[in-house]
Structure 1
Amino acid sequence: MAAPVELAPDYYLRNFQALVDFVVNRYEPLLSAPEREFYRTFKGLEINSQRLYVRLLSRKGVPTSAGALFRQSKLAYAEIDDLAGAAERLVEAGLLWRNPPLPPADLLPLFSKAELLAISPTPLPRGLKRQALEERLLEQGVEQSQLLAGPAEQESLLAVQGAEHFRTFKLCFFGNLRQDLTDYVLRDLGLYRFEAYPLDQECLPFQSRAQIEQHLRYYECLDELESALNDGEEAILALAQQLPPGIDGDATLHRRLDRLRLTLARQLERLEALQAADRLYRQCHRPPARERRARIAVQRGDIESGLALCREIIASPHNEAEQVFAESFGYRTAKRAKRLRDWQAPERYQAPTETVALPPAPERVELMAAAFLQAAGSEAEGGSSSGPELHQCFYVENTLFKGVLGLFVWDILFAPVPGAFFNPFQAAPSDFRTPDFYPLRRAAFERRLSELKSETLAQRVWLHYREKWGLANPLVAWEALSEPLLELALARIPPDHWRQLFRRLLNDIEHHRNGLPDLILFPAAGSYELVEVKGPGDRLQQNQQRWLAFFARHQIPHRVLHVEWEQP
């Protein structure tokens, strides 16, 4: 990991310029005329005006119909010379609006309580709460001119312009509107280092202006989501009607639209608008849409439709969690309806289990269990307190198998798949935790898995371990992958076990990345064993149970270790 560095006072300007330059260099034909003019206007400013504009654009301000609003007298930035002059040049360029005509209610949040009391034409009690004070001032008919003349002589208000154009630049750069320039800051501080994957023009996520417009429309709808959820059925259905239709080949947009429809439909369920919820779920192509439809059908008394949906899921599940639901819910529903002829109770796997009593201690129970297993195994083998004949036990939880997979398929993970990378600062492809991740790379992954042998696995893992150390990878937690652990794992775990583990992870990273056992034990005699540790009162979670059942199907050694506290 690179050593942290001290940032320049105007680091934010350099990062902003890099962002907008990147977008123009790659997407200029897709930008609107006002967006291109926004870029040219900004680039034509002198440096202090650029600094002030980016500072204000990055701050929250008071939101108004005229743009985010600031008081000029409250602005102070050490790196900006002649702030007043910089502001005036921004006003002349149209990137700031000075003293926009706004209702007084929009301006009051800019002023402190003491300032508002001083503005009041008639004395008001100092003990008034903020909201009550603002209401009294509005009742008194306070005007904008009074607010601007009150606390400071000729106070000036500045409203940021062009933010709607920068939204497009952010979308094209980050692929979303959640991220901001903080990602650059983390890079500059040396907290993150990124793989140098190619960003070829034909692989860029946005290929048309219509695509950009639909993504922007999605985020406009997302901004209205909370209000619609609170306002009831009609507002929810109205928002659903406003969603963009989607673009063929844009899996990212379709995922986002599905997620928003699922949220809207789930709220309709809570409001008992079941028919409307079902219609909305039918427009979704990803889990848990079919699950919710099955539940709605049964709730409405349509048992056969609910069971038919469960059969459909079992025949073609999107993921393992969906299949487990269909088997369990279908069986329970059929049993209640006395239609068990075609349904069997889901099998529940019971993993080998051992219970041990340990003295209470402040450290993590997993670490206590690891020390116990290591000591107990070494004593059984007649080992001494040190030496190569000892059992070795490591706390790995969800890091070992994911980490080795990340090292083994590093080049495939960062391959230039169309739509996967928006900018040079991604720790993962944009579709990494989605159902589209594996299918889009299926051929490359399957070739790599077919070549998996002990020597090829070790060769690739160690190559990337040495060459890529410290680079961001969504599968690799560097601090958890010590060389002694990797050496033992690569030597002891059979290639077929690695292959089966990797395939399960790749098929559904979102659901399978968690739930792996806490410990890996390497007995002195050879081989290995995975151990899930459960402390007093702790129980296996569903994803852990599914992993244990998977181990059993593929003869991967495992057990559950229950820890109880020794009684004094």
Structure 2
Amino acid sequence: MSSPDRQDPRPQAADLANPLYYLENMETVVTWVHQHHGDLLTPEENRRLAGFGHLSVSARALLTRMVMRTGDLFRSDKLNYPELPEPECEALAELVASDWVDAAEHLRVDDLFRLFTLAELRPAFAGVLAELGHPRALPKARMKAVLSEYLGDTVPLVDWLPGHRDTVMHLAHMPLFDRIRLMFFGNLRQSWPDFVLVELGYQQYEQVTFTPESRAFQHRDEVDCYLIMHQCREQLDEGISAADVWSQVPEPVGNAWLASRRDRLLLELGRQAERQGERELALKALAESTHRESRLKQLRLLERMKRFDEAWAIARDWHTTELSDAEAQGLGRILRRVARKVGEPVPELPAEPATDDFLLTLPRTGLPVEMGVQQHLWQDHQPVFYVENTLINALFGLLCWNAIFAPVPGAFFHPFHVGPADLTREDFVPRRRELLEQCFARLDDGDYGDIIRATYRRKQGLANPFVNWLVITDELLELALACIPPEHLEVMFRRLLHNLKEHRSGFPDLIRFLPEEPDLARRYEMIEVKGPGDRLQDHQRRWLAFFHRQGIAARVCYVRWQDDGP
């Protein structure tokens, strides 16, 4: 490992042909955290990371393998990594001597039964089982249940398996590696194997500028806060009482990135509290969360609790704010129900326009129904492309590339991001509003086509959450720029940004270009294809309604097969 003090401009992914590529990737992670987040680590933690680089290659590789395992206990006699330059026993001895690993003297019963086979456990506990009146040939699960009651929480290994006294080893600094993983990934969902074994060399990434100001974590207590919230989420996943978890939730924080995580935690806590019958706690958690989904859940819970006046007051005020289509749809349904309960007039809500439909009768070809319709409709002077959610997203991603990859705090944690970590958060747009408006200004002054073309050439193949390079060809791009008016692009882009998580999908399957049409607004149409028995989904209906309001040509093509009869 190179010294953590070396300031590499851009870390590189390991060559997968190298049998120790996983070690190279781990070294990249450790070096990056040491360089960019060293001030958030204690002196002992920094010393530990520096010491990692002084271990032998075999010891570093073995330690990496152990970190990637589930849990922090392992059997030394089961280690088998033939790619190590030296024997595993020598590498393990070095790790013990340098205090990375120590012998486990006590084991929880769960760990005992996970690490040892039934053939090893039966002789050791045969006497106990006989004393308790059980046959020694109990199945493993039953034997574990019996011994858990008899042995208590932990088992002294030397008393029961003396031949394995120095076999079970404990990774002594796993919390440090968890902290490193958090500061590198920006989350604890991604595991070491997912990243160290695969992800670094998977594709090419945009080079984002990293500065101390762009970090999500500015202080060590912010890292601690995230770890506490992660522990709360794990407890909820394990089914622990929401009331017990509630007392552990950190107070509101000033860090916007952490605040968003806290809102998500409160949303999940509210859901679990309701499932567990703690309705008042659920209401309290949902009211405190500003997550996009929390308001509707709060209203629905108040409605189920027959607290209609409270629900009406919240829904009535919320109705006047800007909402996504899904929020407006859900809120409208609640308003109609609750208004009758409180004796208030039902607010007028916009009616969903009828869809423009047509029917095609096609022979079965074995192709997906969308491809069958595309081939049927294609004409040389009116080409049809299967684009679904790719084209409009890609045009947005190419025009707004610099805004998407702006190094705002908490957006990027390492050089291998497909896109910003805050992409689907509510504050994604507010934190980039000025940059996004600059991009949209290009739609007004006519420069957008040249900008999109230049970005398409310059960034070809780089990961972008909006751009599918396999679909966006030169021909498709040029037709789109020639046939889709900039005014239409802007309204679609703005709807995308209103709720990126919801609005990036639901676009029609096909787009037909009519480049010879003199009226620019009529040079294309979008076509949603529905095969026999298929029907429109809510998010597709919402896009079609939006197109209708904006005067964008969009139709639904229903398909039936010729051999199905009339």
TM-score by length of 1: 0.88
Q: Deviations over 1:322-376 (max 9, x none)?
A: 2222222202332455532x522541111211122223343211111212222xx
CA contact (8 A) 1:170 1:177 kept: yes
Q: Distance in 2 between matches of 1:281 and 1:507?
A: 22
**Residue 434 in structure 1 maps to residue 430 in structure 2:** no
**Residue 165 in structure 1 maps to residue 165 in structure 2:** no
Number of the residue aligned with 2:534: 538
Q: Deviations over 1:49-86 (max 9, x none)?
A: 111111111111xx4xxxx2111111111122132122
Give the C-alpha shift of residue 225 in structure 1.
1.3
**Residue 95 in structure 1 maps to residue 95 in structure 2:** no
Q: Deviations over 1:176-211 (max 9, x none)?
A: 11224433544554x311001100122111111121
Q: Deviations over 1:231-288 (max 9, x none)?
A: 5xxx21220120112421x222112211121112122223443222111111111222
Q: Distance in 2 between matches of 1:109 and 1:204?
A: 39
Q: Distance in 1 between matches of 2:476 and 2:14?
A: 28
> Which of the numbers 304, 307, 315 marks the counterpart of 2:309?
304
Number of the residue aligned with 2:463: 472
Q: Distance in 2 between matches of 1:324 and 1:157?
A: 57
Q: For residues 420 and 269 of structure 1, do their structure 2 counterparts lie closer, same or farther at Cα, with a shift above 3 Å needed?
A: same
Give the C-alpha shift of residue 450 in structure 1.
1.8
**Residue 282 in structure 1 maps to residue 294 in structure 2:** no
Cα RMSD over matched residues?
2.6
Q: Distance in 2 between matches of 1:139 and 1:416?
A: 55
SS in 2 for 1:480: coil
Q: Distance in 1 between matches of 2:388 and 2:79?
A: 49
**Residue 30 in structure 1 maps to residue 30 in structure 2:** no
Q: Deviations over 1:453-494 (max 9, x none)?
A: 595222122212111111110001111112211111111111
CA contact (8 A) 1:454 1:490 kept: no
**Residue 55 in structure 1 maps to residue 46 in structure 2:** no
**Residue 512 in structure 1 maps to residue 503 in structure 2:** yes
* Range 424-433 or range 458-467, more displaced: 458-467
Give the C-alpha shift of residue 160 in structure 1.
0.8
**Residue 360 in structure 1 maps to residue 330 in structure 2:** no
**Residue 331 in structure 1 maps to residue 342 in structure 2:** no
**Residue 554 in structure 1 maps to residue 527 in structure 2:** no
> Which of the numbers 353, 364, 376 marks the counterpart of 1:372?
376
SS in 1 for 2:447: helix
SS in 1 for 2:385: strand
Number of the residue aligned with 1:243: 249
SS in 1 for 2:280: helix
> Which of the numbers 134, 140, 145 marks the counterpart of 2:158?
145
CA contact (8 A) 1:454 1:491 kept: no
Give the C-alpha shift of residue 21 in structure 1.
1.4
Give the AA of the match of 2:54. Answer: G
Number of the residue aligned with 1:70: 74
Number of the residue aligned with 2:215: 204
Alignment of 1:331-410 (within 5 A): 331-335=336-340, 338-340=343-345, 343-374=347-378, 378=379, 388-389=380-381, 391-410=382-401
Q: Distance in 2 between matches of 1:427 and 1:349?
A: 37
CA contact (8 A) 2:389 2:505 kept: yes
CA contact (8 A) 2:126 2:136 kept: no
Q: For residues 357 and 299 of structure 1, do their structure 2 counterparts lie closer, same or farther at Cα, with a shift above 3 Å needed?
A: same
SS in 2 for 1:294: helix
SS in 2 for 1:521: strand
Give the C-alpha shift of residue 148 in structure 1.
4.0
Give the AA of the match of 2:355. Answer: A
Q: For residues 115 and 270 of structure 1, do their structure 2 counterparts lie closer, same or farther at Cα, with a shift above 3 Å needed?
A: closer
Q: Deviations over 1:362-404 (max 9, x none)?
A: 3211111212222xxx4xxxxxxxxx43x21111000000011
Q: Distance in 2 between matches of 1:426 and 1:170?
A: 14
SS in 2 for 1:416: coil
Q: Distance in 2 between matches of 1:273 and 1:117?
A: 45
Number of the residue aligned with 2:141: 131
> Which of the numbers 107, 117, 142 marks the counterpart of 2:112?
107
Give the AA of the match of 2:195. Answer: D
Number of the residue aligned with 1:422: 413
SS in 2 for 1:301: coil
Q: Distance in 1 between matches of 2:299 and 2:162?
A: 64
Give the C-alpha shift of residue 130 in structure 1.
1.6
Q: For residues 445 and 345 of structure 1, do their structure 2 counterparts lie closer, same or farther at Cα, with a shift above 3 Å needed?
A: closer
Give the AA of the match of 1:145. Answer: V
Q: Distance in 2 between matches of 1:57 and 1:177?
A: 14
Q: Distance in 2 between matches of 1:471 and 1:452?
A: 24
**Residue 183 in structure 1 maps to residue 174 in structure 2:** no
SS in 2 for 1:102: strand
Give the AA of the match of 2:364. Answer: P
Q: Distance in 2 between matches of 1:406 and 1:399?
A: 10
Q: Distance in 1 between matches of 2:557 and 2:388?
A: 14
Number of the residue aligned with 1:382: none
Q: Distance in 1 between matches of 2:124 and 2:146?
A: 12
Q: Distance in 2 between matches of 1:139 and 1:246?
A: 42
Give the AA of the match of 2:558. Answer: H
Q: Distance in 2 between matches of 1:453 and 1:336?
A: 48
Give the AA of the match of 1:183. Answer: F
Q: Distance in 1 between matches of 2:27 and 2:34?
A: 11
Number of the residue aligned with 1:462: 453
Q: Distance in 2 between matches of 1:69 and 1:169?
A: 19
Q: Distance in 1 between matches of 2:220 and 2:515?
A: 62
Q: For residues 147 and 176 of structure 1, do their structure 2 counterparts lie closer, same or farther at Cα, with a shift above 3 Å needed?
A: same
Structure 1 gap ranges (5+): 379-387
Identity over aligned pairs, percent: 33
SS in 2 for 1:533: strand
CA contact (8 A) 2:479 2:515 kept: no
Q: Distance in 2 between matches of 1:262 and 1:138?
A: 36
